[in-house]
Amino acid sequence: MGWRLPLRTALWTLRGKQPKATADMVRELSHRREVYSAVPCHLHIFPILKRLQSSEPERACSQNMDEEMNDFMGRKVSYSSQMCFIPEESTNSVPCYRLLSTHGDLLDPSSINELDKELCIEMYRKMVTLQVMDTIFYDAQRQGRISFYVTTIGEEAINIGSAAALNATDVVFSQYREPGVLMWRGFTLQQFANQCYGNEYDLGKGRQMPVHYGSNELNYLTVSSPIATQVPQAVGAAYGLKMDKKDACAVTYFGDGGTSEGDFHAGMNFAAVLGAPVLFICRNNGWAISTPTSEQFRSDGVAIKGQAYGVRSIRVDGNDALAVYFAVKNARKMAVEEFRPILIEALTYRVGHHSTSDDSSKYRSVDEIEYWRTRRDPVARLRMFLQSNRWWDDENEDLLRQDLRTQMMSVLHNAESKKKPGLSNLFEDVYDVIPQNLKEQEQETQAIVGKYPKDYPSDVPLD
């Protein structure tokens, strides 16, 4: 018994049991020690706590002590004497969910019964609106009427399809290529133009660049350009929703490039640990300015990354508005009912330049851009589907586009003619109440601008 007695006593005492000096026990312990000797002792001893479930004080629950020998980190690990490295990529890449073929045919014709005709038409109308708005704003920038713009050409299906699947109370944290979500919720073309011109009617009071929209009323957080900073913020909002037990989720959008940021990793990890009801929607559009996805990551896209964090994920055809709609709808249901994050990778293509400060023909072939613009256009695809079902026709199309163009012209003209916010807007909202030092700075600035008006823009009121 010699040295085994203290060891056995120690082990049994740690497990809360009285030591029994039987030969069977000793044999069993020795056997276990041989088999599990590779496992560090302390992991047997501390129970795994179930945490982060409620704001009521709860006792942590521990696992059955007898099973702990098999468990690592709360899950069973099986041992194998065959050395096996997990391959860096699996033989099949994650399948991509789609409902429509490239030519707009329903892959499962019977699923037509699940579709709502009015909703499909409305989605299409909004996609066209987004396309027209983008084209006209882009041209306006080229003419020098606005300073900057970021188009969403090629990604209309992701914008509108996902927006249509969300509730109005779901909080949206976007990157900057998702105006369609705001548009679906009711932001008018005039409001978009006001923001781009930064006039006095801009909700942001002229303080941000174009495409940095935000609306408290529509639950769409003001866009902040640094990449992926919105991801942990969305998790924070979801945390609040979980604490308040609301029937709403947080939604965050980002591109393929954004998944390289530390904030993406941090946000995903923590959403999984916390069980936060948040949707991570990645617009994998193939390019991060000039960096193709082959230079962004070596994994099988973004959907595969979900599993590494313990997040349920799906890959969807981002140019198929209906697929995006249904995927997001189901994901939202899971997120809200089961308190879990969901990752959705929507495959698409960035047809436009990164922004008006970019000329993408410098790093990709014009043929490639043309191919995606003409042959894989998500708007045209949905149109083909609608028209093949006689839910839409060419006349509707022409009317809609003509009407939109007229609207946009008048909206631009309106926004241009409005005054810019007054000088006092420079100093307000830095804090809730303007402090003394900023008041002094405001007075100094007003004095200078008042003294040398010719050196300052004439359309900025002094008040």
Both tokens of 303, joined, read 């959907």
Options 174-182, 360-368, 383-391, 434-442: segment touching another protein (CB under 8 A)? 434-442
Cα–Cα distance for residue pair 303/375, rounded to 1 Å = 25
- Asked if 202 is part of the footprint of another protein (rule: CB under 8 A), the reply reads yes
Residues 6+ apart with CB under 8 A from 387: 104, 393, 394
Sign of CA dihedral 76, 82, 83, 89: negative
Instruction: Assess contact for 252 and 279: CB atoms under 8 A.
Output: yes
The CB-of-373 to another protein minimum distance in angstroms stands at 33
Near another protein in 265-284, by CB under 8 A:
265-267, 269-270, 273-274
Cα–Cα distance for residue pair 336/401, rounded to 1 Å = 38
Residues 6+ apart with CB under 8 A from 216: none
Residues 6+ apart with CB under 8 A from 257: 227, 288, 289, 291, 296
Choose between 31 and 51: whose C-beta lies nearer to another protein. 51
Choose between 28 and 429: whose C-beta lies nearer to another protein. 429
Cα–Cα distance for residue pair 392/399, rounded to 1 Å = 12
Cα–Cα distance for residue pair 287/81, rounded to 1 Å = 43
Options 8-16, 120-128, 207-215, 391-399: segment touching another protein (CB under 8 A)? 207-215
Among the listed residues 208, 293, 355, 360, the single contact to another protein using CB under 8 A: 208
Cα–Cα distance for residue pair 249/239, rounded to 1 Å = 9
Catalytic one among 33, 51, 103, 363?
363
Options 46-54, 88-96, 111-119, 453-461: segment touching another protein (CB under 8 A)? 46-54
Choose between 123 and 172: whose C-beta lies nearer to another protein. 172
The CB-of-58 to another protein minimum distance in angstroms stands at 7
- Asked if 21 is part of the footprint of another protein (rule: CB under 8 A), the reply reads no
Among the listed residues 44, 145, 207, 312, the single contact to another protein using CB under 8 A: 207
Both tokens of 351, joined, read 């047809």
Give the footprint of another protein on this chain (CB under 8 A). Answer: 49, 51-58, 171, 173, 202-205, 207-208, 212, 214-216, 221-222, 224, 226, 229-237, 239-243, 250, 262-263, 265-267, 269-270, 273-274, 428-433, 435-438
As annotated, the active-site residues are: 350, 354, 363
